């Protein structure tokens, strides 16, 4: 018996919607990253983008445990001398809560062409509304 390897054109992609209200950021991100990569499917192939699309709603209501909400920082650098910028988690949640979820998921995706293609299938929205009703996304329940 031969091992089945999925071809890029043969993979049927589904759409899932995840409500992040009250969910822990890391646990949410690990489940979403697994779905984006396709590791939940029986026809998973590491070198083919066989993951599904994920819509995350209520990104502004995601939580962190312990003191992480006060201690967590996000770093960016402009590649110029002295170009380091530090943003706290609280400031990031006020301005761009979508980016907090995207960065958490991106940290769990491979850094290559395939990973960038998989990240394009992630849609994150601040509130409960999203414009993807035409794709008929299925609700996906994530525990705690």
| pLDDT of res. 143 | 84
In angstroms, the CA 7 to CA 133 distance is 28
Q: Classify residue 52: in a domain, yes or no.
A: yes
Which residues contact residue 106 at a Cβ distance below 8 angstroms, ignoring those fewer than 6 apart? 119
CA gap 106, 99 in Å, rounded: 10
Domain membership flag for residue 117 = yes
Q: Is residue 121 part of a domain?
A: yes
Query: Strand order of the sheet with strand 15-19?
Result: 122-124, 53-57, 15-19, 138-139
- What's the CATH code of the domain at 107? 3.90.1180.10
Distance, in Å, from the CA atom of 109 to the CA atom of 37, rounded to the nearest integer, reads 8
pLDDT at 1: 84
Any domain includes 86: no
| pLDDT digits (tens), the chain, 144 positions | 898 899 988 999 999 999 999 999 999 999 999 999 999 999 999 999 999 999 999 999 999 999 999 999 999 999 999 999 999 999 999 999 999 999 999 999 999 999 999 999 999 999 999 999 999 999 999 986
Whether 132 maps to a domain, the answer reads yes
Count CA atoms within 13 Å of residue 51 on its CB side.
24
pTM for the whole structure: 0.93
Number of independent structural domains in the chain: 1
Please give the residue range of the domain that contains residue 111: 15-64+96-139
Q: How many CB atoms lie within 10 A of CB 83?
A: 9
Q: In the prediction, which pLDDT does 38 show?
A: 95
Q: What is the predicted pLDDT for the residue at 44?
A: 94
């Amino acid at each position: 018996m031969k091992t089945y390897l999925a071809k890029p054109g043969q993979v049927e992609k589904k759409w899932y919607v995840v409500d992040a209200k009250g969910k822990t950021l890391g646990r949410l991100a690990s489940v979403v990253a697994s779905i984006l990569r396709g590791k939940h499917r029986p026809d998973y192939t590491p070198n083919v983008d066989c993951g599904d699309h994920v819509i995350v709603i209520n990104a502004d209501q995601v939580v962190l445990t312990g003191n992480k909400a006060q201690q967590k920082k996000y770093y960016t650098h402009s590649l110029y001398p002295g170009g380091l910028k530090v943003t706290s988690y609280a400031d990031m949640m006020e301005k761009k809560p979508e980016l907090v979820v995207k960065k958490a998921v991106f940290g769990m995706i491979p850094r290559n062409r395939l990973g960038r293609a998989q990240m394009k299938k992630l849609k994150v929205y601040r509130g409960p509304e999203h414009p993807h009703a035409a794709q008929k996304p299925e609700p996906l329940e994530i525990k705690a």
